Amino acid sequence: MGEEKGKVSKIRATELLRPFLHRELPVTHQGRGARTRLEMEVLTHKLNLYIDSWMGPRDSRVQGWLLLDDYLPTLLLTLLYLLIVWMGPKYMRNKQAFSCRGVMVVYNLSLTLLSLYMFYELVTGVVQGKYNFFCQDTRSGGASDDRIMNVLWWYYFSKLIEFMDTFFFILRKNNHQITFLHVYHHATMLNIWWFVMNWVPCGHSYFGACLNSFIHVLMYSYYGLSAIPAMRPYLWWKKYITQGQLIQFILTVVQTTCAVVWPCGFPVGWLYFQICYMITLIILFLNFYVQTYKKRGSLPRKEYHNGAVVASMNGHFHGMSSTEGVKHQKLRAD
């Protein structure tokens, strides 16, 4: 009954806004700006109405959190990302590639620290709340649920930060590394986690984010440290990153399936969606792993060129390797 009243009030709000769209505003810069803002508000409202009618009531505990109330900002940021992926290489075609080495060291090590923080907070919150590995709903963890929600918001936001992975490729003219797997993973994760944060922001949602944060500690630390020449002899874990990612996806499927077999009130539709999405990643990453390592007979060796590490694909989009010289480098996966 309460949900029906909410829908009616939203529809009435839309009806109240409609006259303003047809109202004559002064043909000035301010008038056009006011009309554009009003049209955006109506568009946002209609999009929220559609999503809520499809997905059901949101989790009120995250109401008002940055970027979560409206889907439009997340959608527009994703479309902007895809536009840059399309236009960026064209813009850089006749320009000198940027080094970005110093910025990339800071970027990678910053994401290493953020990933370490998220992993620690998730593990601590799960232990504190005595989460059930096989199935955990979104309303039984008490204060731990709040802790998990806070860190999962950072996890969602980190997917926006990670768009920089692609932008560095564009600036450095490593366009061959902007693969379907790369763009698919980056574009979908931000959007998926917007929905997760609005409907299932804790409970069984923690597991995949926890594993992924751990993998990102290994991944971003490798790429940050590999840009420091003195550290290169001590970096031994590159070849294990892709294997770790595949194990991560498989374990997530297993843990998600447990909640289907032994339900606890966590929305089952989310469980089926996560299983399907993980299967797509397993297929894409496994294909990448076979193409990169198994068909070549052995792991590609690392090379250094002009002081920059040139490494093989290692489960992340930042790595580089070369079998045909420094101008044609291998792909890397995330």
Q: Which of 182, 185, 204, 318 is catalytic?
A: 185
- Residues in CB range of 274: below 8 A, 6 or more apart: 208, 252, 256
Q: Distance between CA atoms of 330 and 311, rounded to whole angstroms? A: 8
Strand partners, 309: 304
Say whether 185 is catalytic.
Answer: yes
Residue with tokens 């320009």: 95
Residues with catalytic function: 185
